């Protein structure tokens, strides 16, 4: 049987919704028809993509590997069929949090001045590669180690780490903090795109508890509510001011590299080299 785009859309809807019922409602189709479409795709690939043994469907290892390929394929088709792409092709710049920190606005303004014919779209995507491996962005601002295969990276700068604590806490009364100061608190960890792990602490002196979150909003809320402390980089304070949060220098943690990353070769956006050049100039000027 010939595979069609509907097979990819069906698989992605099931993967994202977690149940056939919700996926069918999202696609405005019946559950039996959606189940048949999924089976056709699995038969074509010769692998099981979805584990149906639980009420909440889970992707198999093959399903997780196929997910990014399917998402990238659909994103490429949607871009090709977008009428706007016939006149101008926007450059989509993804980031999971904090973008380029205090350099974000200067970069956007410089881009608009120098490249008024190519829109630069800044998109926050809660994903380890900010949507890059899924094809939803053309280039991404990423922090820490970039382990996704097949990506080209360029280092822009290294950001100092900052402690983030509830305002009014004893920690907020200090001018600067250390990892040991934070260890008595639960630590909020962004497990999707964060750069903080318990490996920052010595094995014998790690925090006893963590609170796992999946995005910046959840992370900020956990700290503001007094449930946890956190660690971020110097890019965050200027973008996320909050009356219930205090930022303090963290004196004994290594800096975090900030990189631009993209997928090489066709169909890479032709304006990526210009973005790399301009981002480096903006950072250097500061």
Q: Report mean pLDDT in 10-residue bins for the chain, 286 residues.
A: 84 86 88 90 90 80 87 77 64 96 97 95 95 92 92 97 97 97 97 95 96 95 98 95 96 97 86 96 94
| Same structural domain, 43 and 75 | yes
Residue 26 confidence (pLDDT)? 86
Count of residues in the chain: 286
Per the DSSP assignment, residues forming a β-bridge with 142 are 259
| Same structural domain, 38 and 152 | no
Instruction: Note down the domain range covering 56.
Output: 5-81
Residue 102 and residue 238 in contact, taking contact as beta carbons nearer than 8 Å: yes
Query: At which of 81, 105, 130 does a domain end?
Result: 81
Question: How many domains, in total, are found in the chain?
Answer: 3
pTM, 2 dp: 0.74
Residue 256 and residue 144 in contact, taking contact as beta carbons nearer than 8 Å: yes
| Same structural domain, 194 and 154 | no
| Same structural domain, 147 and 112 | yes
Residue 225 confidence (pLDDT)? 98
Q: What stretch of H or E contains 279?
A: helix 272-285
Query: At which of 81, 103, 138 does a domain end?
Result: 81
Residue 88 confidence (pLDDT)? 66
| Same structural domain, 219 and 175 | yes
Query: At which of 81, 97, 116 does a domain end?
Result: 81
């Amino acid at each position: 049987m010939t595979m069609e785009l509907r097979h990819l859309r069906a698989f992605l809807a099931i993967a994202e919704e977690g149940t056939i019922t919700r996926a069918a409602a999202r696609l405005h189709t019946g559950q039996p028809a959606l189940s048949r479409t999924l089976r056709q795709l699995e038969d074509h690939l010769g692998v099981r993509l979805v584990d149906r043994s639980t009420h909440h469907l889970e992707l198999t290892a093959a399903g997780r590997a196929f997910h990014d390929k399917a998402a990238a394929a659909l994103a490429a088709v949607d871009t090709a069929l977008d009428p706007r792409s016939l006149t101008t092709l926007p450059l989509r710049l993804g980031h999971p949090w904090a973008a380029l920190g205090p350099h974000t606005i200067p970069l956007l303004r410089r881009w608009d001045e120098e490249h008024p014919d190519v829109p630069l779209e800044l998109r926050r995507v809660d994903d380890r590669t900010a949507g890059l491996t899924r094809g939803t962005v053309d280039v991404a601002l990423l922090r820490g180690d970039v382990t996704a295969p097949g990506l080209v990276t360029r280092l822009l700068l290294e950001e100092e780490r900052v402690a983030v604590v509830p305002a009014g806490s004893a920690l907020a009364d200090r001018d600067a903090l250390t990892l040991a100061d934070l260890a008595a608190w639960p630590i909020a960890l962004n497990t999707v795109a964060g750069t903080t792990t318990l490996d920052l602490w010595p094995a014998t002196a790690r925090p006893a508890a963590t609170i796992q979150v999946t995005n910046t909003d959840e992370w900020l809320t956990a700290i503001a509510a007094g449930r946890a402390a956190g660690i971020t980089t110097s890019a965050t304070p200027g973008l996320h001011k909050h009356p219930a949060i205090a930022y303090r220098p963290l004196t004994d943690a290594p800096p975090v590299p900030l990189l631009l990353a993209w997928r090489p070769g066709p169909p890479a956006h032709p304006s990526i080299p210009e973005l790399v050049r301009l981002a480096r100039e903006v950072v250097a000027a500061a």
